[in-house]
Amino acid sequence: MRRLPQDCLNLLEIALVLNAMGCIQSLSCKPKVFKESISVLEIKSSIDSTPTSIDESSNVVLRYRTPHFRATAQVLVPPISGNETWRVGWIQGCNHMEFYNYYGDLGKSSWELPDLEQGKIPAISDSDGVNYPWYGNTTETCTVTGPTIRDTKFTVSMNDNFYPSVTWAVPVNQGNTPKLTGIHRDQSFTTWLVAINMASGEHVILQTIKWRMKLEITVNPSLSQGQRAKLKEPFTQEQPRVLSKNEPIPPSALVKPNANDAQVLMWRPNNGKPVVVIAPRHQWVKADRTP
């Protein structure tokens, strides 16, 4: 049997060693990119099973409180060799909003996000309005500053729900007589778990969650206060979906304005022209859409 030359044997030995190390694509093992090494060890997401509660204690407004959406993730950040700072946390955008308060045959009031409804943006930031782009800056984020010599493991969590006030009376020039007959609300959100390099702005999406909150409340304004409103549906909300494939974050979900600052309260009578009841705190400009 013919023997292989010594240099061929040496190359064969090297190849066998590299194969055992998992480096079968190249003779040099390429280190894994740092951001690709940030991992989610566990993620949980749910909406409480309790139904929306209704409060009629005020003679001016009806209040309701929806169950909470909750998201919690345990994250592992590998050692950081340099002086980089990475922040990991939750970013949320609103993709769709229907928020109507009906006043019988008089008309309806509605909270609206004009640019979202007109399709000019696919989502709007649901940040707290201070710590853009983050949903919040307490339990919602964690900051890791290098250099670090070992893995950093932590938990970030967030929760969200609706607790608005709706006037019993028509919100424009109609006195104080109760006229409210119903409430319809249907909102959809995307919530991202994200790691961002605070110097470069480079980001990696670790997880994407989709969730929705709906409610229908019927109101009989002729009944005594405390007995007017009833939850029609749903009594249990659809549970959130943790996506198997992440979705990109639209630029409009990362910058001002947030939904609270961009929304406008309209009165839309069945007869007559719409009236702006509460103008948005922030007026859109072109720069807002292209950060």
76-80, 189-193, 284-288 — which is least confidently predicted? 284-288
Q: Please say whether the beta carbons of 134 and 198 come within 8 A.
A: no
Within this chain, do residues 196 and 227 fall inside the same structural domain, yes or no?
Answer: yes
Q: Please say whether the beta carbons of 259 and 65 come within 8 A.
A: no
Within this chain, do residues 51 and 156 fall inside the same structural domain, yes or no?
Answer: yes
Within this chain, do residues 271 and 157 fall inside the same structural domain, yes or no?
Answer: yes
Residue 146: is it exposed, middle or buried by C-beta count within 10 angstroms (0-12/13-18/19+)? middle
pLDDT tens for 177-226 read: 999 999 999 999 999 999 999 999 999 999 999 999 999 999 999 999 99
Residue 6 confidence (pLDDT): 54
Which domain range does residue 12 map to?
Answer: 1-30
Within this chain, do residues 37 and 7 fall inside the same structural domain, yes or no?
Answer: no
Give the list of residues 6+ apart from residue 215 with CB closer than 8 angstroms, or none: 52, 64, 66, 183, 184, 185, 231, 233, 234
pTM of the complete model = 0.84
Within this chain, do residues 21 and 40 fall inside the same structural domain, yes or no?
Answer: no
Within this chain, do residues 211 and 170 fall inside the same structural domain, yes or no?
Answer: yes
CA atoms within 13 A on the CB side of 239: 7
Within this chain, do residues 161 and 102 fall inside the same structural domain, yes or no?
Answer: yes
pLDDT tens for 110-139 read: 999 999 999 999 999 999 999 999 999 999
